[in-house]
Structure 1
Amino acid sequence: MMGKKEKRQALLKQLISETPFIKDKDIAKKLNVSIQTIRLDRLELSIPGLRDRIKDIAYHNLKEEIRSLPIEEVIGEIIDLELEKSAVSILEIEEKEHVFSRNQIVRGHYLFAQANSLAIAVINDELALTSKANIHFLKQVKQNEMIIAKAKVKGTDLGKRRTTVEVESFVRDEIVFSCEFEIYRSNLIGLKGEDRKVTSLI
């Protein structure tokens, strides 16, 4: 017969198996225990934390899909990608170098870098470069918050080989950053009816 701890750990494994991106604090609420208990259970079960789970899934599922830059060079973790259409990435603001020491507000270039690398990653081209960016910083982001960036391809000027990608970044459900990128591309693969491969992690 399973004891209380064994039952909890079995439920923990099931929750993470069904929802790989669930946070420790959300698991703790569901199981009515402390976050520390969940972390100890994960260690005993050799289950990595959220960040490492995301990296592992993203790396194995997307490394062959992204053509425009190595997945290791993407700022944030891409969790959804449909080439020439849309993409989603997340960036957890946990490190001290991400923020100003005086007020713990995120440095703006991290918001831009996450959005810019996502705009490039969504392009189905081995050479995709940022040509222009119209940036709007809309709200401060603080340390320990998670930024969700969502990219949408708006259209392509075939003559100029420029694709417009709109990226909006959110903390919870509130928009904090937006940018319209103009991306130069070396070819027009994926724009004339070729099949598009779709990879989704959510």
Structure 2
Amino acid sequence: MNGEENETSAVVTTTPPLKKSPTASLNGDNEATQDLVPTDLTFLIKDRVKIKGTSDDAWTPQHDSVINNFISDNNSKLLVAYVDSVNGVTVDTVVPNNQNAEELVYFIKTGRFTELTEATFSSVIQWGTLRSGYLESLLRIMNGIYAPLFFKNTSWPDSIKNDFSAQLHRFLASLTDIKHKMKGKTVLYIPNEGLDLSAEIA
């Protein structure tokens, strides 16, 4: 998962995915040639960000760049969108370490290695809206719902599962650290993975 060491947006310019679009054949026959044209999938994210302070005019090319990177990069697991009291609409790949936003929309990839399209969005991405106290809410959701599902998945090859698990642990450790540092505490993240195994199996 994504770590949250700071609030700097990971703005990466990417080329949107391509889809084939039929065009008329130049030789006049009934065959159609196929041209590659960009497919803009940012609307899949923006249409689901329904929080106070957002509007169609609030979205910028920088927002689109971050969203496109999340969509196209398999290593990018988390995307958040919120309205910052200073910077306005903010899209980032890390959870902000302050709570000056009243609402936060999160998008988390389920771990299914399927091409992200309009048809597969609901099966590949989990999303929701968190309000005040969103750090605690997100950590509770991750530890209680998503993390157990990921760690208990036995259908992935070991290489993929190990890589994904390492990223998820880093994300949970960072989220745990940020949550407690805001209260002036230092708390170590202890993974729950494998706690249900017997000593012999472990």
TM-score normalised to structure 2 length: 0.27
**Which structure carries more strand by proportion?**
1
